[in-house]
């Protein structure tokens, strides 16, 4: 994380400036095919009757019944309800994580208070703690409150992440000069005013990256939503139910997998560059 501070690119006349040869592009094309082919194959089979799988040669081009298979997906699982649940769950978690991380990150980066160092050490230490393993008491509590089967129960355990606080703190500590905070104070701005007029504008790029990754994490989560709310599923849980439903063809399952991947593919096309710069800026898994 510390190594990725803005790379100064000095590409002069030598070595690294050379355009790489065919071998490099050959490798890259092979990687592209390897990354895209399983998806393409799912679409090919998802748009065909299952019988294509018993042909002599594996199919290369999609058949014409993608929408027929999709219709069967809709018959088998509550697709739209699940999509809506996923949007709500991921949206609320993202909003909550970004808000509380920015608040705490700002305080840790730019405000002086007793015990701040100890508390920050605590945050860093908890980043490595697998909180996912707390599912048993969480389930006991949710059932006691009668919340199982609700989106609220899916949301609650991920309302904050230690990583978010750490990420915002690391970003803000370099981005806002201390003099600016002092100047605001001398001018009589309250702490909340300083946060709102200095902290938030400066934090915006990092907030966007954190939002993107938090959304991805919430959207792809499977274990906890499956345990606490199988009857009112998120998209991932509904998709898994498609596989375990009886009398469902391979091709229908794969049509469902393709369909469920579409929202993230759209996100990828729209925000792919931000995703890459986020990963490269040291945004990590989760």
Binders of another protein in range 104-123 (CB under 8 A): 104, 106-108, 111-113, 116, 119, 123
Candidates 178, 204, 220, 231; binder of another protein (CB under 8 A) is: 220
Q: Does 185 bind another protein (CB under 8 A)?
A: yes
Residues 2-31 that bind another protein (CB under 8 A): 2-5, 7-12, 14-20, 24, 27-28, 31
Candidates 81, 150, 261, 274; binder of another protein (CB under 8 A) is: 261
Q: Which is nearer to another protein, 88 or 138 (CB)?
A: 138
Instruction: Work out how close the CB of 242 gets to another protein at its nearest, in angstroms, rounded to a whole number.
Output: 8
Instruction: Work out how close the CB of 198 gets to another protein at its nearest, in angstroms, rounded to a whole number.
Output: 6
Count residues binding another protein (CB under 8 A): 117
User: To 10 degrees, what angle do helices 79-110 and 162-175 make?
Assistant: 50
Cβ neighbours for 275, distance < 8 A, ≥ 6 positions apart:
212, 268
Candidates 198, 203, 206, 218; binder of another protein (CB under 8 A) is: 198
Instruction: Work out how close the CB of 63 gets to another protein at its nearest, in angstroms, rounded to a whole number.
Output: 16
HEC string of 32-94? HHHHHHHHHHHHHHHCCCHHHHHCCCCCCCCCCCHHHHHHHHHHHCCHHHHHHHHHHHHHHHH
Q: Which residue spans within 122-258 are E strands per DSSP?
A: none
Stretch that binds another protein, among 60-68, 69-77, 87-95, 159-167 (CB under 8 A): 159-167
Whole-number Å distance between alpha carbons of 284 and 155: 21
Q: Which of 89, 230, 91 is nearest to 154 (CA)?
A: 89
Cβ neighbours for 215, distance < 8 A, ≥ 6 positions apart:
90, 91, 93, 94
Instruction: Work out how close the CB of 57 gets to another protein at its nearest, in angstroms, rounded to a whole number.
Output: 8
């Amino acid at each position: 994380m510390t190594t990725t501070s803005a790379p100064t690119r000095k590409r002069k006349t030598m070595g690294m400036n050379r355009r790489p040869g065919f071998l490099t592009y050959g490798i890259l094309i092979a990687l592209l095919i390897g990354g895209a082919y399983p998806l393409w194959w799912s679409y090919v089979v998802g748009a065909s009757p299952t019988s294509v799988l018993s042909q002599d040669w594996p199919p290369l081009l999609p058949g014409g019944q993608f929408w027929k298979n999709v219709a069967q997906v809709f018959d088998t699982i509550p697709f739209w309800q699940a999509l809506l649940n996923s949007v709500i769950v991921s949206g609320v978690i993202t909003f909550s994580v970004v808000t509380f991380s920015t608040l705490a990150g700002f305080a840790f980066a730019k405000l002086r208070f007793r015990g701040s160092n100890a508390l920050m050490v605590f945050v860093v230490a908890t980043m490595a703690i697998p909180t996912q393993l707390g599912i048993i008491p969480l389930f006991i509590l949710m059932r006691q409150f009668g919340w199982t089967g609700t989106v609220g129960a899916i949301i609650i355990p991920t309302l904050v992440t230690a990583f978010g606080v750490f990420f915002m703190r690391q970003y803000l500590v370099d981005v806002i000069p201390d003099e600016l905070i002092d100047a605001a104070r001398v001018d009589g701005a309250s702490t909340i005013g300083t946060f709102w007029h200095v902290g938030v504008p400066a934090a915006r790029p990092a907030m966007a990256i954190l939002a993107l990754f938090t959304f991805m994490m919430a959207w792809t989560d499977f274990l906890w939503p499956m345990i606490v709310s199988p009857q009112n599923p998120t998209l991932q849980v509904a998709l898994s139910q498609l596989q375990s439903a009886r009398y469902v063809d391979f091709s229908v399952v794969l049509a469902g997998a393709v369909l469920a991947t579409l929202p993230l593919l759209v996100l990828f096309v729209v925000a792919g560059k931000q995703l890459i710069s986020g990963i490269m800026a040291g945004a990590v898994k989760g």
